[in-house]
Amino acid sequence: MATMRHTLFVFIAVSLILISLSCQQPGGNSTGSEYMPDMVYSTAYEANVYYSYSLNTWDSASVFTRLDLMNPRNPVAGTVPRGYAGYSFAHNPQEQQAAMAMLTGQAPGSQYTPANGHVPYYYADTEEERIRATAEIIANPFPITAAGLVKGQELYTFYCGICHGDKGDGAGYLVRDPNPATGDAGGKYPAAPANFMLDAFIDSSNGRYYHAIMYGRNMMGSYADKLSFEERWEVIHYIRSLQAKVRGLEYSETANTLNPAYGVPGASLAPEEPMN
Ligand code: HEC
C-alpha cells in the first residue's frame, strides 16, 4: 500500500513537472505561453479594430473563419460604444476636454484607459458641413506626446504621404514620380493633393483635417475606416509638427509655439500613466 501511494505520488509529481515544462517559459523577449489565451484575445467580433491572433483555432473549431473574425466591423447601429461615450456626449469643448482628460489619465485620480470606441461624427459629407467642421473643431482632444507623434508619423507615411508627400508639401511619390505605364512625367495620380505647407492649411483649424480624413474630398477617398479616432488625431498632430518645422517653430511634447489652440503639449499635463 505504501509503495503504491509512493508510486502515485512520484507519478503525479513527474506529470506536474512535465506539464509545466511543456509550456514555454518566459524569458528574454518571450512572454512564454499563456495558460488560457482565449481569455486575453477576444474571439468576439470587434467594431473598428483589426484583431488577428495567430493561435486562434477558430478556423477548425468554428463556422466562422479567423479571417472573418479579425476584420474590423461597424458598430451596431444605435448602440453606445465603449470608450469615448463621454467625449461623444459632451456639450461643449470644455466638457470634451474633461472627458478626454479622464480617458487619457491626465485628470487627478484617473488612469489611462485604452479605448476602442467608435466616436460619432456629427457633420455631413457636404461643402457647408466641411466649413462648419472647420469653424467648430479647433483643438486636438489628445495631448501632444512623443509616442503619439511617432505613431502619427508612421500612419501618415503609410496612408497620406504617398500623395501628400513625406514633408506634407503635396508631392508624394504617386504624384511626383513618372508613370512608366503611360510615359506620363506627371505621375500615376492625376489630381494635385493639398499642400499642407501653405499658409491656408497651416492657419486652418483641426476640423478641416478631421473632416478630410472622415470623408475625403473630391478625388481623395475617406480614411475613416482605416484610422481609429485616436489615430486620426495622431496623424493631425504629426502634420502640425511638419508645419511647425517649416515655420521654424516647435510642436512637440514639451512646447507648441505653432498655435496653442491646436494642441496641448503632453509634458505640461504631467501624465500619470505613459500614453500609448
Ligand atoms: C490617393 C491620394 C491621397 C491620399 C492617400 C490622401 N489624400 Fe488627402 N487629398 C488628396 C487630394 C487629391 C486632395 C485635394 C482634394 C481637393 O481639394 O479637390 C486632398 C486634400 C486633402 C485635404 C484638404 C481638404 C480641404 O479641406 O481642402 C486634407 C486635409 C487631406 N487631404 C488630408 C489627408 C490625410 C490626413 C490623409 C491620410 C490619412 C490623406 N489626405 C490621404 C489626395 C490624397
Q: What is the mean pLDDT of residues 209-224?
A: 94
The mean pLDDT of the chain is 82
Question: HSE-up of 223 (CA within 13 Å, CB side)?
Answer: 22
The answer, yes or no, to whether residue 40 has pLDDT greater than 70, is no
What does the block give as the cell for 93?
A: 469643448
Highest mean pLDDT among 12-26, 63-77, 235-249: 235-249
Question: Pocket residues for ligand 1 (CB within 6 Å)?
Answer: 130, 159-160, 162-164, 189, 191, 193-194, 208-209, 212-213, 217-220, 223, 235
- Model confidence over 81-127: pLDDT tens digits? 666 778 878 888 788 888 888 887 788 888 777 666 678 788 999 99
Confidence of residue 203 (pLDDT cuts 50, 70, 90): very high
Residue 209 CA: nearest ligand 1 atom is: 29
What does the block give as the cell for 68?
A: 472573418
Q: Atom 29 in ligand 1: which residue has the minimum CA distance?
A: 209
Residue 50 is predicted with a pLDDT of 67
By most ligand atoms within 8 Å of CB, the mutation choice from 220, 228, 231 for ligand 1 is: 220
Residue 134 CA: nearest ligand 1 atom is: 26
Long-range contacts of 256-264 (CB under 8 A, 24+ apart): 256/144, 258/202, 259/203, 261/138, 261/139, 261/205, 262/138, 262/139, 262/140, 262/205, 262/206, 263/139, 263/140, 263/142, 263/143, 263/144, 263/237, 264/139, 264/140, 264/143, 264/144
The answer, yes or no, to whether residue 273 has pLDDT greater than 50, is no
- Per the CB < 8 A criterion, the answer to whether 99 and 222 are in contact is no
By most ligand atoms within 8 Å of CB, the mutation choice from 189, 199, 217, 225 for ligand 1 is: 217
Extents of the domains making up the chain: 38-74, 122-269
Fold that domain 122-269 belongs to in CATH:
Cytochrome Bc1 Complex; Chain D, domain 2 (1.10.760)
pTM of the model: 0.73
